[in-house]
Each structure stands twice: as C-alpha cells, then as structure tokens.
Structure 1
Amino acid sequence: MSKDVRQFIVQADDDGIRLDRWFKRHLPDANFNLVSRWARTGQLRVDGARATPGDRVAAGQTIRVPPADAPKPGVSKPKIVRRKLSEDELDFAESMVIYKDEQAFVLNKPPGLATQGGTKTTEHVDGLLGALQYENEGRPKLVHRLDKDTSGALLIARTSRAAAYFSKHFSGRSAKKLYWALVVGVPDIEDGMIDLPIAKQPGTGGEKMHVDTKEGQPARTRYRMIEQAGNRCAWVELQPLTGRTHQLRVHMAAIGHPIVGDGKYGLQDAFLTGGISRKMHLHARRIRIDHPDGDGEKIDVTADLPEHFAESMKTLGFDVALGDASDALDDRPPLSREQKKSIAKAHAKSVRKERRGERRGRGERTGPRDAKKK
C-alpha cells in the first residue's frame, strides 16, 4: 500500500463541478461513503482547506486525497458497464427532449423521475442519457439537478467542454432558473425576498433540510405572486438566487405557505381538497443560460406543465398566460394589477366566444330534427 498522499490539479473541464462528481469521473474506486469519511476526518482538502463532497471545485485548485491501495501491475480499472436500454426507455428519453443543439439538450423532466441514482433508486435521468448520445463519442452529462418530484426544464451537456462551461455558470449563479408553484394560502407580500439560511436537519441523515440561522448556509429566494384563488391557494413565481438543497420547498414552508403536495415540508397542511392532485406542484418553468459557443447567444427554454399541475391550474381558475406575460427573467417589469385584470378579461372573452361557437355548432346539428317536427 502506498503511504503517499495524492494531489491532483483541477483541470478546465472540471471547473465548477461538485467534488463528489470529480471523484466519480477520475477516481471511481473511491465511492461516496469513502469520500464522505475522508471529509469527516479532515483528510480531504482543497487548497489546504477541509472540504465536503458537495463543495464545488475550480480549475487550478489542488485536491488532496488520502493514500489508497496501489493498482496491481497489468490490471486496468474496470469500465462502468451500463445496461442496455429497452425500446420503451429509448422512446421515453427522446420524448423528454424539448431543446437540442450541438452542445446541449434541455429535457422536460416529469415528476416522479429522479435525476440521479442512489440507494433503491434504479430509474433516473442519468441512466437514460445513453439514449441521447446520437453521433457524439461521449455520453451526455448532468450539470444540475431537480428533485425527484419536481418537474420541468433540466439542462444536459453533450460534451465535456459544455459540461465544464455550464457547471461554472451554475456555480457562479449566472444561470437563471424560474419555477412555478402552487402554495397553500396567500402570502401577505406579493413580491418579496426570502433570506433564510438552510442546513441539514439533524437526525434525518441529510434527507431533510431546515432553516438554521446559526449553522446554515446563506439561501435567498425571490418570489412573486401571479394569481390567487380566494384565500385558499396562490400561484407564485420563484427564482432561486442560491442553490441549496430543497431551497424553494424549505423557504415556502418557512413563511407559512408550503408548496401544494409537499408533505415532506408542509406535512398535512400541504394538501388541498376539491380534487386537487396530491402530487407536488413545483415546476421548473424556464431556464436561461449563456451558450458555450459565445457571441452573446443564450439557451432560453420554457417547459410545459405536467398534466396534474395543468389540471390543478384549470380547477383553480388560473390562466397560464398571466405567468408568461411578464416574468423575472424578462427585462420588462412585472405586470400591474390593472394589466393582469385586462389579460384576464381578454381571456374570459375568448373563452365565452369559443363556447358560443360550440353552442352554434350543436344548434346546426339539431336543425334537421327541428325541421322534421315542423
């Protein structure tokens, strides 16, 4: 066994990625549990400072790794063997693609599908990316995540260069993400900022987060109410300004308005009656990020709502057009109350017109019967 501590310089292709992802790429024999143990005992360091698996690394930094068993002469590292995808899985992966170019995909991830695998999680986006390799030699790469029960826009890099570029923008917060959510009750402030630090909740094994003003990491969320259904429910636009685990869910629950269907943080208060789905109503509606090819071009993609969310919007009388008319990623200012009313009236007028057309159509079909009666 080698007694030498190993040191690695972070390369440009790995700029901005999480430390655990760095190990997965370059030292796959060091599994997550081993890396976590090194971190807990202070043996894992980046530029001399103690590090955790969730920390992000930058090009040029030095990663200090404890000694490990030296590889046996003539024995190469085993290659990761991925199972062959079925025709249904190939079709499903294709169906999620809502944007594609030479550097990236954007998927519309459905609720209930995990982004990455883990304990007892065998079905996930990462496992389907082989279906989207097409003519490229390398496999597409995840650059950020969505919770299993959160739907919507998920950016996928098609090359290592694009992955490094996107990771840097996500870690630098220049990538913009906009979420839609239905929340229980109506916030007192229509357009506000939630600035509450977040940490892992003790006793949950890191599976649950909570607001912790002493030990938590800074977390900021901008929210804006779009519409409300009486005092029962509000449709809000959420923009995370930091990237903490479960940030939007923790923040909305912390101000007394849990996301509809989020029993983990809202408990029983997170569910509405009247035929509203018990699934979580949190959707990554839009993502905007600079394109790796430069020249000021941007990837700017909007993801349609999943079926249960769209049905709840319809049941509660919310009009999707209001959310898209002006959002936080646009340069235009948010709509005023009068502008919202004008859009709502125009929408109601068009609906009434459609219904009159339907009634006329039914009348035309019954005309011959009336003639016979005469």
Structure 2
Amino acid sequence: MTTSTPQTSSVQLIEVPPELAGQRIDNFLVNVLKGVPKTLIYRILRKGEVRVNKGRIKPEYKIQSGDIVRVPPVRLPERDEPVPVAQGLLQRLEAAIVYEDKALIVLNKPAGIAVHGGSGLNFGVIEAFRQLRPDAKELELVHRLDRDTSGLLMIAKKRSMLRHLHTALRGDGVDKRYMALVRGHWATGKKQVNAPLLKSNLRSGERMVEVNDEGKEALTVFRVLRRFGDFATMVEARPITGRTHQIRVHALHAGHAIAGDSKYGDEDFTREIRELGGKRLFLHAYALVVPLPDGGELKLEAPVDEMWAQTVERLSAT
C-alpha cells in the first residue's frame, strides 16, 4: 500500500468575479482551499497572510468584484481526502432534513452540533453536508445557529439561492421564530426588548456579548406561549435584527435568563431544569417563513427534541 504526501499549495492571486461579490472572505477561502481545516484558514487570516488589494483584512470582510485576493501557501489534504465526519452523525443530519429542493436544504439542527468547524472542531454541519452531497459544489450556510441552539437551519445548494436569501435576510423578508424556556414570570405586557449589543472577545478567545450603548442596534419581539407558575415561562422570540447571541442576551437583559445557558444563564435555574432531565440550552428555532425566488413562500416548523418535550412534561407536573 502506498501513501501520498500532502501537497503544499503555491501563492495564489485570485481576482474576485462579480457573482461572488458580497461573500465573506473566510467562506471564499473555504471554497478556494477545499478540505483545508477552517482553523487553519482563520489562522492565516489572523496573521495577515491573506491580503486583499495588498492590504490586511478581517475574517468578516466581504469581498467585492475585482478584488485581488492573495492566498498564501498552505498544506493541502491528499486528493479526494474526505472531511472525517462520523457515519453516525451523517445519518443523524440526513434524518434531520425537513425540506430539500435543487437549491436549498433546511434541517432541524440538533442541539450540541456546531454549524461549521473551527475553535478546536474539525467539522460541523456544513462540512458534514459537503460529504453527504458531494455533487453540490456550492453548498454554503445561509445563516448560523449557536452550537447549543437547535432548530431550523438553511443551507443553500446554489450561489443564486444564497444571494437571494441574504438579500431577504437583510430586509424583512425572512420571519424566524424561536422558543425559549426562561426563568420566572414573563409579564404579558413585556412585548419587546430594544437594547444595543456589543461583542467582545475575552482573553481566552471566547466571544461574549453585552448590552452596551456603544453596540449595534438590536430588537427582539417576545410573546408568552405558556407559564409554569412563577417558576418559568415558555416564550416565543422573534429577532428583528440578527446579532450574535441576541435572544440569549436580550432575555437576560429582561430579567429572564434562558434555561441551560452556560454563558448568560442563571446557575440555580439551570440546575433545577437539569434535575428534571433538561441537559441542554432551551432555545429552539421552531418556525421559518422565507420568500422563494419564484415568488412563492416556504413555511416550515420543526418539533423540539425528546429531551425538551419530556422536561416540559415534568415541569408541568411539578
């Protein structure tokens, strides 16, 4: 049996074509450097080895038509070497698909699975789907869900669908609704939280978000779905803006931490919910309405997992 040595790529200078304008540089590099771990891509971005028009850029930079991207030499995987995604996870994600057509996949993402590799993870949902759908060469995440949040997640199979949905997300064309189990009695009259959010990175590299006047505008509309005495409330959350950790931080700001939230939660409340069997973050993207390019509308709902359902059942009985 012979083994081949992984190759090291040479420096590439790539001119961005018009159809890729608006894409984040990290996602652009994922496609250029097929199979290269996302951790390595972020490392070369962080070190300033990737240049656009001879200047340094951040991972969130959006490339423009005509940009000249300098891609440094990186070690490439062996030809056709697949992302090592466990078979059990592949089957689980395949079973989680709630909608698929020639341009779009929507799945009910399980809690605990990251949407993409990075931060010590070799793979996430998008890497798994590139293995599940090898003929779909343009697979990209349309949006993101936190690793511990479950629910409806969109993956575009075509660049045209990705652009269409990004345009819809920037406007008010997409309606995303979440369910959250929060501490205490959420007042019926408390229908929205309008508080600016500021992102910061801790020394450990962990990302935290806080309400801060210097942050970006953020608005979440809430609605009470069900009460469990004064102990807990099930609320619907509809984020009007799409900031990182928005619902989690806005719920905390309103005085009602989400159960199972290790970053912004309440330890005592989380412990009590865990004692009922709820060993997860109780935030679930359950409903989605998106406009389709042909003028139609896609409406989807995703059920909660068994752990969530059983915990709520036990909570009702207490």
TM-score by length of 2: 0.79
Residue 31 of structure 1 corresponds to 41
Residue 286 of structure 2 corresponds to 285
Contact 2:276 2:315 in 1 (8 A): no
Measured in 2, the distance between the counterparts of 1:132 and 1:226 equals 37
Matches within 5 A, 1:60-139: 63=67, 65=69, 81-83=81-83, 87-133=87-133, 136-138=135-137
Task: Give how far 1:155 is off.
Answer: 0.8
Measured in 2, the distance between the counterparts of 1:82 and 1:188 equals 51
Contact 1:263 1:270 in 2 (8 A): no
Contact 2:130 2:136 in 1 (8 A): no
Residue 4 of structure 2 corresponds to none
State the Cα RMSD in Å.
Answer: 3.5
Does 1:217 pair with 2:220? Answer: no
The alignment partner of 1:248 has SS state of helix
Matches within 5 A, 1:233-244: 233-244=232-243
Measured in 2, the distance between the counterparts of 1:34 and 1:90 equals 29
Residue 262 of structure 1 corresponds to 261
Task: Give how far 1:171 is off.
Answer: 3.4
Measured in 2, the distance between the counterparts of 1:288 and 1:112 equals 24
Measured in 1, the distance between the counterparts of 2:24 and 2:189 equals 35
User: Residues 78-125 of structure 1: CA distance to partner in whole angstroms, max 9, x if unpaired?
Assistant: 867423655434422321111111211111111111111113213521
Residue 22 of structure 1 corresponds to 28
* Pair 1:77–1:192, CA change in 2 (3 A): same
> How many residues are matched?
299
* Pair 1:90–1:68, CA change in 2 (3 A): closer
Code of the aligned partner of 1:25: N
Residue 18 of structure 2 corresponds to 11
Matches within 5 A, 1:1-374: 8-9=15-16, 11-12=18-19, 14-26=20-32, 31-38=41-48, 52-56=58-62, 63=67, 65=69, 81-83=81-83, 87-133=87-133, 136-138=135-137, 140-204=139-203, 205-214=205-214, 216-271=215-270, 273=272, 275=276, 277-292=278-293, 294=294, 296-317=295-316
Q: Which runs of 5 or more residues in structure 1 are unaligned?
A: 1-5, 319-374
Task: Give how far 1:270 is off.
Answer: 4.2
Task: Give how far 1:182 is off.
Answer: 0.5
Code of the aligned partner of 1:222: V
Structure with greater strand share of residues: 2
The alignment partner of 1:313 has SS state of helix
Residue 372 of structure 1 corresponds to none
User: Residues 137-162 of structure 1: CA distance to partner in whole angstroms, max 9, x if unpaired?
Assistant: 52532211111110011111122222
* Pair 1:26–1:85, CA change in 2 (3 A): closer
Task: Give how far 1:280 is off.
Answer: 0.8
Contact 1:258 1:269 in 2 (8 A): no
Residue 9 of structure 2 corresponds to none
User: Residues 37-69 of structure 1: CA distance to partner in whole angstroms, max 9, x if unpaired?
Assistant: 549xxx768xx9x96422555xx655465x666
User: Residues 160-184 of structure 1: CA distance to partner in whole angstroms, max 9, x if unpaired?
Assistant: 2222322332234522211000100
Contact 1:16 1:171 in 2 (8 A): no
Measured in 1, the distance between the counterparts of 2:243 and 2:23 equals 15
Task: Give how far 1:31 is off.
Answer: 2.4
Measured in 1, the distance between the counterparts of 2:59 and 2:84 equals 30
Task: Give how far 1:128 is off.
Answer: 1.3
Contact 2:45 2:57 in 1 (8 A): no
Task: Give how far 1:190 is off.
Answer: 3.6
The alignment partner of 1:201 has SS state of strand
Measured in 1, the distance between the counterparts of 2:86 and 2:241 equals 38
Code of the aligned partner of 1:254: H
Structure (1 or 2) with the larger CA radius of gyration: 1
Measured in 2, the distance between the counterparts of 1:222 and 1:10 equals 39
Code of the aligned partner of 2:41: N
* Pair 1:26–1:150, CA change in 2 (3 A): same
* Pair 1:19–1:173, CA change in 2 (3 A): farther
* Pair 1:116–1:80, CA change in 2 (3 A): farther
Measured in 2, the distance between the counterparts of 1:165 and 1:15 equals 13
Measured in 2, the distance between the counterparts of 1:151 and 1:138 equals 26
* Pair 1:170–1:162, CA change in 2 (3 A): same
* Pair 1:89–1:7, CA change in 2 (3 A): closer
* Pair 1:62–1:249, CA change in 2 (3 A): farther
* Pair 1:11–1:227, CA change in 2 (3 A): same
Task: Give how far 1:258 is off.
Answer: 0.8
Measured in 2, the distance between the counterparts of 1:268 and 1:34 equals 38
Code of the aligned partner of 1:311: Q
Measured in 2, the distance between the counterparts of 1:173 and 1:17 equals 20
Contact 1:196 1:211 in 2 (8 A): yes
Measured in 2, the distance between the counterparts of 1:230 and 1:77 equals 56
Residue 3 of structure 2 corresponds to none
* Pair 1:217–1:169, CA change in 2 (3 A): same
Contact 1:16 1:168 in 2 (8 A): no
